[in-house]
Amino acid sequence: MALNVREKNGFNYVAEGQGQVLMLLHGLFGALSNWEGVVNRFASNYRVVIPMLPIYTMPIKEAGLEGLKSFVEDFVKTMELDNMIIMGNSLGGHVALLYTLDNGPKVSSLILTGSSGLFENAMGGSYPRRGSYDYIKDRVEYTFYDPAVASEELVGEVFETTRSIPKCMRIVAIAKSAQRNNLASELHKIKVPTLLIWGLNDTITPPMVAHDFNRLIPNSTLQFIDKCCHAPMMEHPEKFNNLVAAFLQNQ
């Protein structure tokens, strides 16, 4: 399914299907292509909505988790969304947690995969280096168990992004904001059913992080996918979607 980007009141987003809202929040270098498998599987039974987070365009003074949470709040208000299932990968999971902590009644359940919020090894231990294609290729491949998943198109997209000084400034500001924002003392307030899907070989948010989320979020279930790193919905879309489907059937 080709994902059609729409625009409303300054928000760019994807909306496919009908039914209960399933909102997807992408990570720091996330792209629509990250979610194609999820949209294809669930748009027949859910209204799948993907806001394009303004990671590269938001005012530099607002470039951080609070700014992204406020953006999601404004998007939800504009789109008149309610009773949402929110799925977030990496930074998107962190934003989903912050949104839920402040807007619990609007959220029916959470699905987190490779989420930051407790610990993350950003970009494999370093921040984006401008101008080096080989460096960017190595870092993108680092986020996958099978480096072949890091297609030439994906690497090229990240490389082009990191060639921009203003975009790099925002990326670094948001990454640092995520590392500073530890939610360990807040996660007990998350009351909605929460599914944690983690790559057993995640190098960015290692399996110990998943266990900590599972321990700290009261109504949570943890599932691991073997031979999988930081983006299970891309590396093992069928296994990922089957776990999501089983979880949603029980809600």
Q: Which of 104, 105, 87 is nearest to 96 (CA)?
A: 87
* 160-209 pLDDT, tens digit each: 877 888 888 888 889 889 889 999 999 999 999 999 999 999 999 999 99
Residue range 18-43: average pLDDT?
91
Check residue 228 and give its pLDDT. 97
Give how many domains the chain has, as a whole number: 1
User: In terms of residue numbers, what domain contains 128?
Assistant: 5-249
Check residue 122 and give its pLDDT. 56
Check residue 126 and give its pLDDT. 45
* 146-168 pLDDT, tens digit each: 988 888 888 888 888 778 888 88
Check residue 116 and give its pLDDT. 94
Residue range 30-59: average pLDDT?
92
* 73-92 pLDDT, tens digit each: 999 999 999 999 999 999 99
Both tokens of 147, joined, read 């480096």
Amino acid at 96: A
**Beta-carbon count within 10 A of 26 CB:** 24
Q: With cut-offs at 50, 70 and 90, classify the pLDDT of residue 131.
A: low
Q: With cut-offs at 50, 70 and 90, classify the pLDDT of residue 121.
A: low
Contact status, residue 207 vs residue 224, Cβ threshold 8 Å: yes
CATH number of the structural domain spanning residue 69: 3.40.50.1820
Check residue 29 and give its pLDDT. 78
Q: Highest-confidence range of 117-126, 140-149, 185-194, by mean pLDDT?
A: 185-194
* Residue 109 pLDDT greater than 60, yes or no: yes
Say if residue 244 is exposed, middle or buried (CB neighbours under 10 Å; 0-12, 13-18, 19+).
buried
Residue recorded with tokens 């949209």: 39
CA–CA distance from 137 to each of 8, 31, 121 (Å)?
34, 16, 17
